[in-house]
Amino acid sequence: MSRYDTVVTNGRVVLPGLSNLAEVAIGIREGRIAAVAEDITASEADEVVDARGLAVLPGGVDSHFHIGIYRPIEQDAASETESSLVGGATSIISYFRTGSHYLNKTGSYREILPEVLGKADGRAHTDYGFHIAPMTTAQLDEIDWMVGEAGVPSFKYYMFYKGLNLAASSTDAAAYTMSDSYDLGHLFAMMETIAEADAKYGARGRVSLSLHCESAELIKLFIERVKNLSLPPLEAYSRARPALSERLSIHEAGVLASEARVRINLLHLSSADSVRAVREIRRLYPDLDIRAETTLHHLCLTYDMLEGQGLGGKVNPPIRTRHDVDALWDAVADGTIQWIASDHACCLEELKQDDLWPAQPGFGGTALLYPVLISEGYHKRGLSLERIAQLVSSNPASAYALYPVKGVIAVGSDADLALIDLEREQVVSRELLHSAQDHTPFKGVSVRGWPSVSMLRGRVVYRDGEVVAAPSGAFLPRPLSGRRQAAVTL
Amino acid sequence: MSRYDTVVTNGRVVLPGLSNLAEVAIGIREGRIAAVAEDITASEADEVVDARGLAVLPGGVDSHFHIGIYRPIEQDAASETESSLVGGATSIISYFRTGSHYLNKTGSYREILPEVLGKADGRAHTDYGFHIAPMTTAQLDEIDWMVGEAGVPSFKYYMFYKGLNLAASSTDAAAYTMSDSYDLGHLFAMMETIAEADAKYGARGRVSLSLHCESAELIKLFIERVKNLSLPPLEAYSRARPALSERLSIHEAGVLASEARVRINLLHLSSADSVRAVREIRRLYPDLDIRAETTLHHLCLTYDMLEGQGLGGKVNPPIRTRHDVDALWDAVADGTIQWIASDHACCLEELKQDDLWPAQPGFGGTALLYPVLISEGYHKRGLSLERIAQLVSSNPASAYALYPVKGVIAVGSDADLALIDLEREQVVSRELLHSAQDHTPFKGVSVRGWPSVSMLRGRVVYRDGEVVAAPSGAFLPRPLSGRRQAAVTL
Amino acid sequence: MSRYDTVVTNGRVVLPGLSNLAEVAIGIREGRIAAVAEDITASEADEVVDARGLAVLPGGVDSHFHIGIYRPIEQDAASETESSLVGGATSIISYFRTGSHYLNKTGSYREILPEVLGKADGRAHTDYGFHIAPMTTAQLDEIDWMVGEAGVPSFKYYMFYKGLNLAASSTDAAAYTMSDSYDLGHLFAMMETIAEADAKYGARGRVSLSLHCESAELIKLFIERVKNLSLPPLEAYSRARPALSERLSIHEAGVLASEARVRINLLHLSSADSVRAVREIRRLYPDLDIRAETTLHHLCLTYDMLEGQGLGGKVNPPIRTRHDVDALWDAVADGTIQWIASDHACCLEELKQDDLWPAQPGFGGTALLYPVLISEGYHKRGLSLERIAQLVSSNPASAYALYPVKGVIAVGSDADLALIDLEREQVVSRELLHSAQDHTPFKGVSVRGWPSVSMLRGRVVYRDGEVVAAPSGAFLPRPLSGRRQAAVTL
Amino acid sequence: MSRYDTVVTNGRVVLPGLSNLAEVAIGIREGRIAAVAEDITASEADEVVDARGLAVLPGGVDSHFHIGIYRPIEQDAASETESSLVGGATSIISYFRTGSHYLNKTGSYREILPEVLGKADGRAHTDYGFHIAPMTTAQLDEIDWMVGEAGVPSFKYYMFYKGLNLAASSTDAAAYTMSDSYDLGHLFAMMETIAEADAKYGARGRVSLSLHCESAELIKLFIERVKNLSLPPLEAYSRARPALSERLSIHEAGVLASEARVRINLLHLSSADSVRAVREIRRLYPDLDIRAETTLHHLCLTYDMLEGQGLGGKVNPPIRTRHDVDALWDAVADGTIQWIASDHACCLEELKQDDLWPAQPGFGGTALLYPVLISEGYHKRGLSLERIAQLVSSNPASAYALYPVKGVIAVGSDADLALIDLEREQVVSRELLHSAQDHTPFKGVSVRGWPSVSMLRGRVVYRDGEVVAAPSGAFLPRPLSGRRQAAVTL
Query: Which chains share 3+ C-beta pairs under 8 angstroms with B?
Result: A, C
If phi > 0 it is left, if psi is from -120 to 50 it is alpha, else beta; for residue C442 that is: alpha
Check CB contact of A262 with chain B, cutoff 8 Å: no
pLDDT at position D490: 41
Q: Residues of A with CB below 8 A from B247's CB? A: 255, 259
d(C-alpha C125, C-alpha C109), whole Å: 25
If phi > 0 it is left, if psi is from -120 to 50 it is alpha, else beta; for residue C343 that is: left
Instruction: Report CB contact under 8 Å: D22, A412.
Output: yes
**Measured distance between the N- and C-terminal CA atoms of chain A, rounded to whole angstroms:** 33
d(C-alpha B287, C-alpha C33), whole Å: 39
Q: Are B354 and B310 in contact (CB under 8 A)?
A: yes
Rg (CA), chain D: 21
Beta-carbon pairs below 8 A across chains A and D: 118
For residue D489, what pLDDT band results from cuts at 50, 70 and 90? very low
Check CB contact of B354 with chain C, cutoff 8 Å: no
Q: Are B198 and B262 in contact (CB under 8 A)?
A: yes
* B abuts C (3+ Cβ pairs < 8 Å): yes
d(C-alpha A157, C-alpha C111), whole Å: 78
Check CB contact of D475 with chain C, cutoff 8 Å: no
Check CB contact of B412 with chain C, cutoff 8 Å: yes
Q: Is the pLDDT of residue D199 over 50?
A: yes
* CA proximity to C3, closest of B28, B3, B22: B3
d(C-alpha D50, C-alpha D193), whole Å: 49
Based on DSSP, count helices (H) and strands (E) in chain C, helices before strands.
17, 20
Digitized pLDDT (tens) for each residue of chain C, 490 residues in all: 789 999 999 999 999 999 899 999 999 999 999 999 998 989 999 999 999 999 999 999 999 999 999 999 999 999 999 999 999 999 999 999 999 999 999 999 999 999 999 999 999 999 999 999 999 999 999 999 999 999 999 999 999 887 677 777 777 778 888 887 899 999 999 999 999 999 999 999 999 999 999 999 999 999 999 999 999 999 999 999 999 999 999 999 999 999 999 999 999 999 999 999 999 999 999 999 999 999 999 999 999 999 999 999 999 999 999 999 999 999 999 999 999 999 999 999 999 999 999 999 999 999 999 999 999 999 999 999 999 999 999 999 999 999 999 999 999 999 999 999 999 999 999 999 999 999 999 999 999 999 999 999 999 999 999 999 999 999 999 999 754 433 333 4
Check CB contact of D262 with chain C, cutoff 8 Å: no
Check CB contact of B469 with chain C, cutoff 8 Å: no
Task: For residue B256, give the chain A residue with the closest CA.
Answer: A248
pLDDT at position C163: 66
C-alpha triplet A156, A162, A167: angle, nearest 5° = 85
d(C-alpha C307, C-alpha C291), whole Å: 32
Check CB contact of A285 with chain B, cutoff 8 Å: no
pLDDT at position B246: 98
In chain B, % of residues over pLDDT 90 = 91
d(C-alpha D428, C-alpha D368), whole Å: 9
In a mutational test of the C interface, the residue from D159, D182, D183 whose CB has the highest number of chain C CBs within 10 Å is D183
Which residues face A462 on adjacent strands?
A454, A467
Q: Residues of B with CB below 8 A from C24's CB? A: 411-412, 486
Q: What letter would DSSP give residue A379?
A: I
Check CB contact of D20 with chain A, cutoff 8 Å: yes
Q: Are A345 and A71 in contact (CB under 8 A)?
A: no
- Which tens digit of pLDDT belongs to each residue from A186-219? 999 999 999 999 999 999 999 999 999 999 999 9
Instruction: Give the other-Cβ count within 10 Å of B145's Cβ.
Output: 15
Ranges of H-type helices in B134-232: 137-140, 143-148, 173-177, 184-201, 216-227
pLDDT at position A132: 98
The amino acid at residue D161 is: Y
pLDDT at position B181: 82
Work out the minimum CA distance from A192 to partner chain B, whole angstroms: 12
Check CB contact of B288 with chain A, cutoff 8 Å: no
Instruction: Report CB contact under 8 Å: C412, B24.
Output: yes
Q: Residues of B with CB below 8 A from C23's CB? A: 412, 486-488
Check CB contact of C284 with chain B, cutoff 8 Å: no
Q: Residues of A with CB below 8 A from B255's CB? A: 244, 247-248, 251, 277
If phi > 0 it is left, if psi is from -120 to 50 it is alpha, else beta; for residue D268 that is: left
- Mutual angle of helices A216-227 and A233-240, in 10-degree steps: 140
Torsion of the alpha carbons at D279, D281, D283 and D285, rounded to the nearest 10: -150
Q: Which of residues 168-197 of A touch B (CB under 8 A)?
A: 183-186, 188-189
- The two beta strands, A459-463 and A466-467, are antiparallel
Q: Is the dihedral of CA B341, B342, B343, B344 positive or negative?
A: negative
Instruction: Report CB contact under 8 Å: D220, C255.
Output: no
Check CB contact of C392 with chain B, cutoff 8 Å: no
Q: Residues of D with CB below 8 A from C227's CB? A: none
Round the average pLDDT of chain B to a whole number and report it. 95
At D53, is the secondary structure helix, strand, or coil?
A: coil
Q: Is A104 exposed, middle or buried (0-12, 13-18, 19+ CB in 10 A)?
A: exposed
Check CB contact of C218 with chain D, cutoff 8 Å: yes
Instruction: Give the other-Cβ count within 10 Å of C452's Cβ.
Output: 18
Starting at the edge strand that comes first in sequence, how are the strands of the sheet with C60-65 ordered?
C60-65, C89-97, C127-133, C154-158, C208-212, C264-269, C290-295, C339-341
Q: Residues of A with CB below 8 A from D408's CB? A: 17-18
Helix (H) or strand (E) holding C143, with range, is helix C143-148
Work out the minimum CA distance from D422 to partner chain A, whole angstroms: 10
- The two beta strands, B4-9 and D487-488, are unpaired
- The two beta strands, D459-463 and D466-467, are antiparallel
Q: Residues of A with CB below 8 A from B248's CB? A: 184, 252, 255-256
* CA proximity to D33, closest of D7, D55, D56, D15: D7
Helix (H) or strand (E) holding D187, with range, is helix D184-201
- Which tens digit of pLDDT belongs to each residue from B113-157? 999 999 999 999 999 999 999 999 999 999 999 999 999 999 999
pLDDT at position C167: 76
Q: What letter would DSSP give residue C263?
A: -
Task: Identify which of B40, B385, B488 has the shortest CB distance to residue C20.
Answer: B488
Mean pLDDT value of segment B400-422: 97
Which residues face B129 on adjacent strands?
B93
At A264, is the secondary structure helix, strand, or coil?
A: strand
Check CB contact of D17 with chain A, cutoff 8 Å: yes
Q: What letter would DSSP give residue D163?
A: G
Which residues face D427 on adjacent strands?
D446
pLDDT at position C171: 72
DSSP secondary structure, A97-140, as one string: ESBSSTTSB---HHHHHHHHHHHHTTT-SSEEEEEEE--SHHHH
pLDDT at position D487: 38
pLDDT at position A485: 39
Mean pLDDT value of segment D85-99: 97
Q: Are A377 and A331 in contact (CB under 8 A)?
A: no
At A231, is the secondary structure helix, strand, or coil?
A: coil
Query: Which chains share 3+ C-beta pairs under 8 angstroms with A?
Result: B, D
Mean pLDDT value of segment D461-479: 97
- D387: Cα within 13 Å, side-chain hemisphere: 16
Check CB contact of B448 with chain C, cutoff 8 Å: no
Q: What letter would DSSP give residue B475?
A: B
In chain B, % of residues over pLDDT 70 = 98
pLDDT at position C162: 75
Q: Are D281 and C217 in contact (CB under 8 A)?
A: no
* CA proximity to B299, closest of B213, B232, B378, B414: B378
Work out the minimum CA distance from A251 to partner chain B, whole angstroms: 7
* CA proximity to B116, closest of B104, B157, B125: B104
**Measured distance between the N- and C-terminal CA atoms of chain B, rounded to whole angstroms:** 33
- Which tens digit of pLDDT belongs to each residue from B367-391? 999 999 999 999 999 999 999 999 9
Q: Going from the first residue of chain A to its last (490 residues), give the mean pLDDT of each consecutive group of 10, the final group possibly shorter.
A: 94 94 96 95 95 98 98 98 98 96 96 97 98 97 97 96 74 81 95 98 96 96 95 97 98 98 98 98 96 98 96 97 98 97 97 93 97 98 97 98 97 97 98 97 98 98 97 96 43
Q: Are C73 and C61 in contact (CB under 8 A)?
A: no
pLDDT at position A489: 37
pLDDT at position D486: 37
Task: For residue C222, give the chain D residue with the closest CA.
Answer: D185
- Mutual angle of helices A184-201 and A243-260, in 10-degree steps: 50
Work out the minimum CA distance from C426 to partner chain B, whole angstroms: 20
- Which tens digit of pLDDT belongs to each residue from B310-326? 999 999 999 999 999 99
* A abuts B (3+ Cβ pairs < 8 Å): yes
Check CB contact of B29 with chain C, cutoff 8 Å: yes
Ranges of H-type helices in B314-423: 322-333, 349-352, 369-372, 380-381, 385-389, 395-399
Instruction: Report CB contact under 8 Å: A412, D38.
Output: yes
- Which tens digit of pLDDT belongs to each residue from D143-154? 999 999 999 999
At C92, is the secondary structure helix, strand, or coil?
A: strand
Q: Is the pLDDT of residue B233 over 80?
A: yes
Q: Is the pLDDT of residue B15 over 70?
A: yes
For residue B489, what pLDDT band results from cuts at 50, 70 and 90? very low
Indicate the pTM of the whole model.
0.94
Q: Are A143 and A109 in contact (CB under 8 A)?
A: no
For residue B39, what pLDDT band results from cuts at 50, 70 and 90? confident
Query: Which chains share 3+ C-beta pairs under 8 angstroms with C?
Result: B, D
Check CB contact of B385 with chain C, cutoff 8 Å: yes
At A358, is the secondary structure helix, strand, or coil?
A: coil
Instruction: Report CB contact under 8 Å: D15, A411.
Output: yes
The amino acid at residue B386 is: E
d(C-alpha A160, C-alpha C180), whole Å: 71
Biggest CA-to-CA distance, chain C: 73
Instruction: Report CB contact under 8 Å: A244, B255.
Output: yes
Instruction: List all residues 6 or more positions away from D436 whose beta carbon is below 8 Å from its beta carbon.
Output: D71, D75, D76, D79, D80, D346, D348
* CA proximity to C89, closest of C392, C350, C425, C444: C392
What percentage of chain A's residues is helix, strand, coil (to nearest 5)?
Answer: 35, 25, 40
Instruction: Report CB contact under 8 Å: B39, C485.
Output: no
Task: For residue C285, give the chain D residue with the closest CA.
Answer: D280
Q: Residues of C with CB below 8 A from D252's CB? A: 248, 251-252
Instruction: List all residues 6 or more positions away from A334 whose beta carbon is below 8 Å from its beta carbon.
Output: none
Which residues face D32 on adjacent strands?
D29, D414
CA C466 to chain centre: 23
